[in-house]
Structure formats: C-alpha cells, structure tokens
Amino acid sequence: MTTSGIRAFFDELNRGYLAVHRAKEDLFWATYMATSDDHARFAEAERAYKAFVSDPGKLAAVRSRIAELGPDEAEILDGLRGWKAFFEASAIEGASGQADMARIVSLEAELFEKRQKHKLRHIDEKGEAAAATLGALLMNESANPDEAARESSLTALRGLEEWLLANGFLGIVKARNAFARGQGYRDFFDYKVNRSEAMTPEALFAILDDFERRTATASAGGLAFLEKSHGPGALKPWNLRYRMSGDVTREIDPYFPFELALERWTTSFRRLGIAYRGAVLRLDLLEREGKFQNGFCHGPVPAYFDEGTWVPAHVNFTSEGRPNQVGSGFRALETLFHEGGHAAHFANVTRNAPCFSQEYAPTSAAYAETQSMFCDSILGDADWLMRYAKKADGSPIPAGLIEKRIERSQPFRAFEERMILVVPYFERALYALADSELEAERVLELARETERRILGAESYRPILAIPHLLNQEAAASFHGYLLAHMAVYQTRAWLIERYGYIADNPEVGRLLAEKYWAPGNSLTHDQTLRALTGEGFSGRYLAEACNASAEEAWAAAEASVAAARSRVYPSDYPSGLGADIAVVHGAETIADNSSSEAEMCADFAAWVRAKYPRKP
C-alpha cells in the first residue's frame, strides 16, 4: 500500500474511533447524570464501542501497515504504534469472547438501572430519617456528633452491599471470570491487571505487600492511639472516621464555603500554570436523585493533532455535593482538584491519534490517577491552606487550626492509605473464588475478613459499597490509586527539593504538561516519572510520609508556611484556564465562562446561595 493509502487508513481509524467513543461517552454521561433513562441505547453504544476496539481485524490491519512503512515515515509510524498498543490491550479472542463481553455489558447496565432506583436512608444532621447518597453517608460518619446517626449511615452502606449481592453483582463476577478465562487468564483480576497495568498480579502484589509491611506498625499505632484516647468504642466502624477527624472537620468547615469552591479551583490552577488548550469542560457538581453517586471524569472527545490541526478535548466531570452538609465545601474542592487534574491531563496529550489520550488501556490506572491525585494533594499543604482557606468574609484559617488538623490526621495517614490497599486484596480473593463459592454470605465474610486483616478494624466504607467494583472498566483497578499516590509523593519530593514549594508555582503546570501529560500513554508510568524526577517508580516517599510523627509533619508544615510568608510569588499569572467551561445541574446550566471566569464563579456562588441559604 502507498504511503498516502496508509495515511488515509490512519485518518479513518482516528475518526472512526472518535465516532464510537463519543457515542458511548455521551450516553454514559446522560444516563449516569440521570438526564436520560435510555439504558438500552447506552448498552448498545457500549457494545458497539467494545466491538470496535476488540476487533482482531483492526489489530491485524495496523500491524500490516506498520510493516509496510519505512523509518522516514516516523510521524505516522508513531501513531500506528499507538494504535497497535491500544488494540493489543483491548483485543478479545474468539467469537465466544465477544459474546461474553456483550453479556457483561448487559448485566452491568441492568444492575446500574436498578441501582439508580434503589434509595439509601439514614439519620441526618437534623436527627431525621432521610434519603442519602454515598457521599452524604460517608460525610455523616465523618462529622455527625450523634453516634446513633453515624451508625445508621454504616448500616445503610452495609445494606447496600447486601442489596448488590442479591440483585446481580455475583452474576457479574461469574460472567467476568468466564470471559477472562476464555481469554487465557486465570480470572478477571489476572486479566485486568495484565491488560491495564502491563504487569502480573504477582508483580503488583510484590509492591503492595512491601507497602503493607512498611506501614503496618504506623497503622496499628494509630488505632491504638484512637482506642486510648476515646475507648474501645472508637474502633467501631461507624465511629472510626468521626474519631479520626470529626471535630476538626467541623472547625475547618467555615473556611471552605461550598459556593467559593469553583473560584478557588480556577484561581489555584491558573497560578499553578495549568491550562486546558481550548478544551470544552462540563461540570455537574451537586447531588440529584438518580445521579451516579461518585465523582468521575470522562472525556467524550480525546485531544490530539489531526494532521497538524489541534482537536481540543471535551471532558465531563462530576461530584455529588450537598452544600448545606458539614464538610461539603472541602469535599467540593477535592473533587474539583482531582477531577480537574484528570481533565488537565487528558486535555494536554499532544500526540497524533486519540488512542494516546483516552482513559482506557493501555492508559494505566496508576498513570492516570497520578495526575489527579497530585493535584488534590495540594489541598493538604499548609502554605496552600494559609493562602486559600478563608471564611466567606475573608478571614484566613488560623495556623493553630492547621496544626490541630495535622495532629488529628497524621496518626492515621497509614490507615487511610491502607483503606485503598484493602480493595485489591479483596478483589484478588473475590475473583479467585470458584463459582460455587460465590454466595452472598461467603463474599460478605471475605469482605469483613479482608478489612480486619489489612486495617485492623472493620471499615467505615464497606468494600462492596465502593462504586468502582460495579463497572468492568473500573473493577480490579483500585490499586491504581495507591500506586498513583506513591508516584505523587515521589513527584512532590522532587518539586520541593528543586523549587521549595508547589502551591501557586507556575513551573508545576508547565513541567506536568511537558513530562507527564504530553506523551499520553506512549510512555509507561515509570518512564514519565524518570522523565521528570530522573528516578524510577518508588513507594518509599509515601511510606515515609505515612510513618512520620505528628510533630515531624507539623514541623515541615510550619516551615513551609514561614517560607511562604517571605516568598515573592509571580505577579503575572495567566488570566484564565484556556477552556470553555459550563457548570450544569442536570439539564440546567448554572454558570459558564462565556463572559469571564470571574463572572462564572460569581454566578455559581449566587446560585448555590439562593438554593442552599446559610443557616443563621
């Protein structure tokens, strides 16, 4: 085939992928945001997408075109190699494999439709029985001073586990395993780790086991401290989160008004030098009946250069904010920084095909989550808190409250990281069960046993209530958050050693865009870390952060605040994020930046104040 013929094939592949990808993602957003109940059409679009990406004919065609190209055609060769890696990660062998995947998609769509209609209830801050989202249940456990109310939230979460096991989840696990075994893997966990992270479960657990050993003593010490301070009842799962942070959550709450979260996000990201290269961003930030109960970021249009013409990303992200609940303002900021970090990553991939900038394999979960978790890690920095954490009247957070926050949270740093760790240990064991063992009682027993073994107590966030387990794209990938956090602290250590600070440092965004984001999945996670830090992937920085004492953590924070007070920050930060942003609530547009980002933030704040007036 001529070079022009291969170019035509390549362009057709790019645009054909965009068509099936966007059709799926647009329907995904509509059904998950509860603006459409057309679950059947979404499942159909999902199957069409799976058929496209798993077509062995496309993989064979890409391989043959690569073989025909000479080294002087480097640009198109690079793009085709990206597609080769993509199709190899997505390939489904045999007609039975396609049928097995179609069955998984149908079963998941059926469970999701039923889950949207299933209501969870607990005792809220007012002492009243009320419907609640997952986020509201967890926040109630964190901040409600009434133990009976906190216990009602834990009961609701465990009730959800039982409901899922009785309404199709076990059938989905069996179907995933049958599919994976048909593809030559031991089970679905083995399949997923190999395909998404390009490593075996054994290699993964060599890392996880090492981290577990490094943090076991610190985690146990945190629980012992909690029990000594508050008695044995503190270790009951509904009390854990409150005893770890409850009173501090209430004390810092006034410094994080929900309505100002959008302004603080846009300002902080601009000062970090983060820009979105003309991306279209759609944000749905508040809870709503039927809406998916977990934050996420998906990109209907992956960014890339189409024969030299820039195609900006279209990215949607969401959270389930409840502005009148204690802790919701900080939670909103966490979502904006985390999901906004994902969006920044995918908007800044500058390769020549959309396969490099989409969120599925061969994009590893660890690589993708490194970008978002790096951004949300900044919210815990004392110098960031001193500059941004302010009451609605502008009063800044006292240094003493930052110190108290560290004193209360640092003993449990290891425990909180192990909250992530418990999920892959459970999922590996779940998918290793024989079909005859996949019964509700056995799976619940496995969940509680895994929590007790890894955490030393039963979890305030029951494993099966974590939404990631319900969708095969996110299932068996929760370990990516912990691997990402390891990379985050490795990155932070390098930046602080080089520049002395992260918050409001415009070099941060520039370096992330150049070293981590621009290559997309053309580089491995380890290669991106080496490109910036000069060091391969390491978990020791996170382990050291977890094992530090409260006194050591506060000393480091105090030093960063002192340095910030004398630091001369840039005076010429960018005026905008370089994105077309709309904040929506379902089908309603709350605010947008068509006039300016400042006006968008003011309109959002006014809308929130009108809908959720502050208590007198």
Model pLDDT for residues 459-478, shown as the tens digit of each residue? 999 999 999 999 998 999 99
Contact between 42 and 32 under an 8 Å Cβ cutoff? The reply is no
What is the pLDDT at residue 51? 93
Rounded Cα distance, 75 and 308, in Å:
11
Q: Higher pLDDT residue, 245 or 225? A: 225
For the cut 90, the answer to whether the pLDDT of residue 545 exceeds it is: yes
What is the pLDDT at residue 615? 67
Contact between 495 and 377 under an 8 Å Cβ cutoff? The reply is no
With bands split at pLDDT 50, 70 and 90, how would you rate the model's confidence at 70? confident
What is the pLDDT at residue 614? 76
**What DSSP string describes 420-469?**
HHHHHHHHHHHHHS-GGG--HHHHHHHHHHHHHHHHSS--SS-GGG-GGG
Q: For residue 583, list its beta bridge partners.
A: 283, 591
Q: Which residue has the tokens 């930030």?
A: 285
What is the pLDDT at residue 37? 94
With bands split at pLDDT 50, 70 and 90, how would you rate the model's confidence at 284? very high
CB atoms < 10 A from the CB of 310, how many? 11
What is the pLDDT at residue 246? 66
With bands split at pLDDT 50, 70 and 90, how would you rate the model's confidence at 514? very high
Q: What is the mean pLDDT of residues 567-575?
A: 94
Helices (H) then strands (E): counts for the chain: 24, 9
- Which residues have C-beta within 8 Å of that of residue 389, sequence separation ≥ 6? 252, 255, 256, 396, 397
Q: What is the pLDDT of residues 89-145, one digit of tens each?
A: 998 988 899 999 999 999 999 999 999 999 999 999 999 999 999 999 999 999 999
Rounded Cα distance, 46 and 531, in Å:
35
**What DSSP string describes 228-273?**
HHH-GGGGSHHHHHHHHHHHHHHHHGGGS-GGGHHHHHHHHHHHTT
CB atoms < 10 A from the CB of 383, how many? 22
What is the pLDDT at residue 320? 87
Q: For residue 585, list its beta bridge partners.
A: 588
Reading the block at residue 463, the tokens are 């494993």
| Cα 226 from chain centroid (whole Å) | 29
Show the domains of the chain with their CATH numbers: 3-117 (no CATH), 121-176+186-611 (1.10.1370)
Q: What is the pLDDT of residues 429-463, one digit of tens each?
A: 999 999 999 999 999 999 999 999 999 999 999 99
Q: Higher pLDDT residue, 516 or 615? A: 516
In percent, the amount of the chain with pLDDT more than 70 equals 100
- Which residues have C-beta within 8 Å of that of residue 319, sequence separation ≥ 6? 135, 284, 285, 286, 295, 331, 332, 335, 336, 339
SS3 (DSSP) at 60: helix
Beta strand ranges found along 287-373 (DSSP E): 296-301, 304-306, 309-311, 314-321
HSE-up (13 A, CA, CB side) for residue 355: 27
With bands split at pLDDT 50, 70 and 90, how would you rate the model's confidence at 616? low
Mean per-residue pLDDT over the chain, rounded: 96
- Which residues have C-beta within 8 Å of that of residue 89, sequence separation ≥ 6? 195, 196, 360, 361, 362
Q: How far is CA 252 from CA 173, 256, 329, in A?
A: 41, 7, 10
Q: What is the mean pLDDT of residues 220-248?
A: 93
In percent, the amount of the chain with pLDDT more than 90 equals 93
- CB neighbour burial string for 544-560, b if at least 16 within 10 angstroms, e if fewer: ebbbbebeebbeebeeb
With bands split at pLDDT 50, 70 and 90, how would you rate the model's confidence at 71? confident
For the cut 80, the answer to whether the pLDDT of residue 190 exceeds it is: yes
Q: How far is CA 322 from CA 140, 257, 332, in A?
A: 11, 12, 9
Reading the block at residue 479, the tokens are 């370990």
Cβ neighbourhood burial of 272 (10 Å; 0-12, 13-18, 19+):
buried
